[in-house]
Amino acid sequence: MTLFPRDTTRRDDELVTGSDAATRALSVTVVENEFVEGVYEKLASVYDLTFGPALQAGRIRAIQRMAINPGDTILEVGVGTGSNLSLYPRHGQVVGIDLSSSMLEKARERVVRERMSHVRLVQMDAADLKFADRRFDIVYAPYLISVVPDPVRVAREMRRVCRPGGRIVFLNHFLSAGPVMSRAERMLSPLTIHIGFRSDLDLPAFLAQAELKPTSIEKVNIPRIWSLVTCVEEH
């Protein structure tokens, strides 16, 4: 028996079906902003060494999938230490936000060191974005949505600041479809939150409650237990 699926993509209807998706619980684990901020304050000094290389393939794939055009405006929600920043083409304008001051300090050092004049960093709560409606062409949350206290509220804020026809992108681990793995992930979720993510965030429930329809869902990284989810803002 294999522990991880071999396919790299999954059909949208396989992920968003289920009559109870709009009402069922997203996760067994409840967190608050203060807890999340504390976790990432502790992780800031070691994040690039631990989660950097292991998750970099997904970051690269996400930027490739965005197909950023000259003049595009990109909001990265949960910029962390700035692991993605060097991957963006310099013909786009990037705004990165994060709640953790320690993470942002690392990101600012990276911006200065690599002379990224196309990048601006701001400390901000992902659930309360201080931007005008329809401000960005692409709104991207890498490895974030499973750790915020209210994933649906964050997704709705991401939708609000995305222009009609723009793309909303999530790169994240979500609850496995298989009964054995999903049971284990639910059991482990209260522990994995201490290293920065819930292991049991339910993707169909999340998409249904955020009123998002994916245009593509692709498995990334090795093992392929992370998903790259792209949606187009319709309103």
What are 157-181's pLDDT values in tens digits? 999 999 999 999 999 999 998 999 9
- pTM of this structure: 0.86
Range scoring the smallest mean pLDDT among 114-123, 196-205, 224-233 = 196-205
Q: Which CATH superfamily is domain 12-229 in?
A: Vaccinia Virus protein VP39 (3.40.50.150)
Cβ contacts of residue 162 below 8 Å, gap of 6+?
134, 135, 136, 137, 138, 139, 168, 233
Phi and psi at 214, nearest 5°, equal -70, 140
Strand 119-123 relative to strand 136-142: parallel, antiparallel, unpaired?
A: unpaired
Q: Is the pLDDT of residue 12 over 50?
A: no
Could you give the CA distance from residue 177 to residue 206 in angstroms, rounded to a whole number?
Answer: 14
Q: Could you tell me if 127 and 153 are in contact, meaning their C-beta atoms sit under 8 angstroms apart?
A: yes
pLDDT at residue 113 in the model: 97
**Phi and psi dihedrals of 164, rounded to 5?**
-55, 130
* Strands 226-232, 214-220: pairing kind: antiparallel
What are the boundaries of each domain within the chain?
12-229
Q: Is the pLDDT of residue 9 over 80?
A: no
- Asked if residue 29 lies in contact with residue 191, where contact means CB atoms within 8 angstroms, the answer is no
Decide if 71 contacts 92 (C-beta within 8 A).
yes
